[in-house]
Chain A
Amino acid sequence: MELVLVLAIPAVGAILLALVGAQQRAAELNVVISFATLIAAGALVLRIIGEGPMTVAHEQFFVDPFNVFLIALTALVGFTTAVFSRPYMRIEEDHGRLNARRLRLYHSMYQLFMTAMLVALSTNNMGLLWVAMEAATLSTVLLVSLYRTRASIEAAWKYFILCGVGIALALFGTILLYFAAEHLLGGAGMSALLWTHLDAVKEQLDPTVIGLAFVFLLVGYGTKVGLAPLHNWLPDAHAEGPTPVSAVLSGLLLNVAMYAVVRCKILAVGAMHSAVPGRMLMGFGLLSTLLAAFFLWRQRDIKRLFGYSSIEHMGIITFAFGMGGPLANFAALLHMTVHSLTKSAIFFAAGHASQIAGTQRIAGIRGLLVVSPTVGWGLMLGSLAILGMPPFGVFTSEYLILTTAMRDHPWATPVLLAALGVAFAAIFGHVQPMVFGETDARPLPHSPALVPVFVHLSIVLMLGVYMPPALAEWYRVAAHLIG
């Protein structure tokens, strides 16, 4: 029941907003719908904590501690982004960059995107997972090109083609997976595509076919995670789309794609009886982290800068899932949470910062503390958090990942440390002059909604300082499920 609500509310909301999205009150309606989704997700979490994993609708949907945690996170960030987007999009409309028709498209697609992600997270069917991932891409493509500028159209085209090809490879992987399971589970009905059934027989799946399937699935969904060398779409899409879209792409879509990769990895490890899938994840992860860290130096656009930072962090998470084991998985899940919260908070602050300065160029943004102390502090604290400064939660997860790497794979530690060091110097060097310094820019016409920024950052702070035992237990159970 709760799950039906979680999926139905945004789906109905998308239709509703497609009808009335051009009205003045559409932004408020968007917030209300997102809030209702959050409440439903909260109820779902309580149910799962109380009753354990469950399957719904002839096992087509499946909720366990691993995905319910991502569902809750998605609903939370979806809600706060809706709150942030209300004044932000109003200012963009005042600046003449958007009109009522495009806002209708934006609001409707925003809810459709939420629906697609929630379906992808909760489905038990690998085929439906693919369909939902593709739907999530399709619903955001037109949002990236919402401003209809040359750069935004180019970014959206690149996003569409690269992710389209990536996801086509994932479809081939899914076909191979189905093929491998069909012998064991029978081709009639959906059984051979249901993850729970696959998980039960994974030991008997043919290792050659599953190995090949995993390569395709990893490359396919990995494109959406933003893993190097398939990351090219990510900084462009993040920089050229409207800021709320950057926030949900970075904070949520990357996590959902990561979730798909992890589900596939569980099957591959079981079938192949070897560490090869894990090694592949570690390799991709390290490469992404290192590459992104060095690209951070050369960025001149504030949103591109943080786009590359997302690649870096997804690389770290991929690496941690690749190492596997309860501790590394625990750290990776924690890192997914804190990265998602921190990065969306940073995008909120960066969005308003570029509205104040009238440009996204880092060189053009100066003296944020003078014009708007909340935006300035939001950006500064957010950056410190994402750089892994104690006492924020990112420090905890990165520390856990580094110590696990030191114990199990000592060779990887210097690479990770170097990447983190380079990223620190690059981001801090860029952010510091933007926040401090002198400026003659004027404050914004509508007061920005920065409550989400500080809500996110305080959750991240709390996770770093004191993690409630119930939450820690929950992460532990989820980490154990991943194996």
Chain B
Amino acid sequence: MPTLTLATQFLHVLAAGLLMISFGMLAQRRTRSLIVLLAWQGAVLTASTLLVAISAHLPDLYYSAALTLVEKVWLMPWILMRLMRRLGIEGDSDPLVNIPTLMLVGLGLVIFAFGLAQPISSLATTVTRQTLGIAMAVILLAFLMMIARHKAVTQVIGFLAMENGLFFAATSTTYGMPMVIELGIALDLLVGVFIFGIFFFQIREQFDSLDLHQLEALKED
């Protein structure tokens, strides 16, 4: 086992934090707290990107960290919070979720993710390569959250958490995608969140609720 530099060790701590937040999101029933957790996930992501930028001397990653800070820590949670207030669903919760089972399935997913990441991380040359397993686990946990939840807002939060996981995967295997592409992805995501916002209003106008159980008319009978 080679000794790890201080920066790498710190990165591992951050990665572990990311995973903990993902589990926290899985267990959180209240929508408002979920948004706070999403913002925290963005903050940890910013810190880890910054750390990689410093330790690997990559100026591009500074921009990328700044972009993450603005988009994922401030803008997205702010838009979501505003939407919640406008829709008057701040205190909403999802009581029907069986959390212990979700946690167990989540644990299984983490093991699976590490198994899947093994052959790839052994090829990577970046300082962050061991964290790819965690990135994949974050993606899969977000996936699980989208499947398990029935509120429109929660599904969107799951979607954004999945994007955070993807971003982390990109920094941990390759020091991030080229800047132009990252900007394009950020733009798409932002437009996506706006459209989600429009949708919330459309859904509520038509169905009087944001519970997705009501959106089950279209199926094969």
Contact = CB atoms under 8 A, between A and B. Distances in A.
A174 B123 CA distance: 17
A168 B163 contact: yes
Contacts of B206: 148-150, 153
Of A149, A178, A298, the most chain B CB neighbours within 10 A belong to A178
Contacts, number: 121
Interface stretch (A130-138, A246-254, A365-373, A383-391): A130-138
A131 B182 CA distance: 9
A280 B217 CA distance: 33
Contacts of A174: 177
Given A172-B166, A193-B181, A212-B116, A165 B146 contact: yes
A161 B155 contact: yes
B174 A187 contact: yes
Contacts of A127: 177-178, 180-181, 184
Contacts of A171: 166, 185
A154 to B, nearest CB: 4
A165 B163 CA distance: 9
B203 A155 contact: no
A12 interface: no
Interface stretch (B3-11, B33-41, B190-198): B190-198
Interface string A332-356: 0000000000000000000000000
Contacts of B207: 150, 153
Of A149, A154, A178, A208, the most chain B CB neighbours within 10 A belong to A154
Contacts of B174: 175, 178-179, 182, 187
Contacts of A208: 119-120, 123
Contacts of B76: none
Interface residues of A, number: 48
A131 B189 CA distance: 10
A157 B139 CA distance: 21
A142 interface: yes
* Contact-residue bracket for chain B: 35 or more
B69 interface: no
Contacts of B20: none
Interface in A155-169: 155-158, 160-161, 164-165, 168
Interface in B149-208: 152, 155, 159, 162-163, 166, 169-170, 173-175, 177-178, 180-181, 184-185, 187-188, 191-192, 195-196, 198-199, 202-203, 205-207
Contacts of B162: 165, 168
Given A125-B181, A131-B185, A182-B174, A161 B220 contact: no
Contact of B199 (A160, A178, A190, A240): A160
A206 interface: yes
Contact of B124 (A130, A168, A179, A240): A179
Contact of A142 (B139, B185, B195, B220): B195
Interface in B118-136: 119-120, 123-125
Top 4 nearest A-B pairs (CB, nearest first) are A127-B181, A131-B184, A154-B215, A134-B188
6 contacts: A134-B188, A148-B206, A171-B166, A175-B177, A183-B125, A212-B116
